[in-house]
């Protein structure tokens, strides 16, 4: 898989299929490089999801993939050195009944959320009871009244909300990444400006000493 998942509106089909295969075999998915709050709360307690924090001891010191893990995914928050090290020893990890698949690309939070979506317990909110529509009074020329099915309308609304939430998560991921790049550029510009100020001050002092000597 040479294409980056971020080039697609949804996670690459091959990776999504690999996740499904892993879950069917009752194997765990290891997410490397997580931060507080970037995955849903239910993922913290799900038996099929194992997380290594971006600044945790596992990321810094681990030398093996835990038993029972069938797939490794990397979030963009993990450092380059840790990413390469964990990916390399994951590729050579083989257990008696399965091998470990390690996806090499760094993924966004929205992409990982969509890959884990099949494990989600769902909203779990009860449906509101639907009252029967009143029967219209008969008239001289009865008209046929078409009443939409309430359940179908509710399902459509929920699907639209889920789609909107998914799109907002993707937009937030992009915004966070953009802000991170902007911060790095501002830090670099600030450092450059500090060097220039120091150089200008040194040049000024040198010129003043020359004039005073003359």
pLDDT digits (tens, 9 = 90+) for 184-214: 777 777 878 877 888 888 888 878 877 776 6
pLDDT of residue 137: 57
Q: Residue 53: CA atoms inside 13 Å, Cβ hemisphere, count?
A: 7
CA gap 202, 43 in Å, rounded:
57
Helix locations, 25-120, DSSP H: 41-45, 57-61, 80-91, 109-115
pLDDT of residue 51: 93
Strands 69-75 and 101-107: parallel
pLDDT of residue 46: 92
Regarding pTM above 0.85, the answer is no
DSSP letter for each residue of 129-183:
PPPPPPPPPP-SS--PPP---HHHHHHHHHHHHHHHHHHHHHHHHHHHHHHHHHH
pLDDT of residue 129: 44
pLDDT of residue 128: 44
pLDDT of residue 134: 56
Residues 6+ apart with CB under 8 A from 151: 127, 130
* 91 CB-contact burial (10 Å; exposed 0-12 / middle 13-18 / buried 19+): middle
CA gap 165, 159 in Å, rounded:
10
Residues 6+ apart with CB under 8 A from 178: none
Query: Which residues of the chain fall short of a pLDDT of 70?
Result: 1-11, 122-156, 159, 163, 213-214
């Amino acid at each position: 898989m040479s294409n980056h998942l971020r080039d697609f509106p949804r996670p690459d089909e091959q990776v999504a299929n690999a996740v499904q295969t892993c879950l069917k075999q009752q194997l765990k998915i290891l997410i490397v490089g997580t931060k507080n709050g970037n995955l849903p709360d239910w993922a913290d307690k799900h038996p099929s999801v194992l997380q290594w924090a971006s600044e945790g001891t596992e990321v810094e010191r681990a030398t093996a993939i835990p038993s029972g893990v069938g797939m490794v995914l990397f979030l963009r928050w993990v450092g380059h050195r840790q990413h390469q090290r964990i990916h390399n020893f994951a590729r050579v990890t083989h257990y008696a009944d399965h091998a470990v698949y390690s996806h090499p690309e760094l993924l966004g939070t929205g992409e990982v959320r969509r890959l884990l979506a099949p494990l989600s317990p769902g909203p779990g909110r009860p449906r509101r009871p639907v009252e029967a529509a009143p029967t219209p009074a008969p008239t001289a020329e009865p008209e046929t009244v078409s009443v939409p099915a309430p359940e179908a309308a509710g399902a459509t609304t929920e699907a639209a909300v889920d789609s909107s939430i998914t799109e907002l998560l993707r937009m937030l991921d992009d915004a966070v990444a953009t802000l991170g790049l902007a911060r790095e550029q501002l830090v670099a510009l600030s450092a450059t400006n500090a060097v220039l100020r120091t150089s200008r001050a040194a040049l000024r002092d040198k010129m003043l000493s020359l004039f005073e000597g003359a």
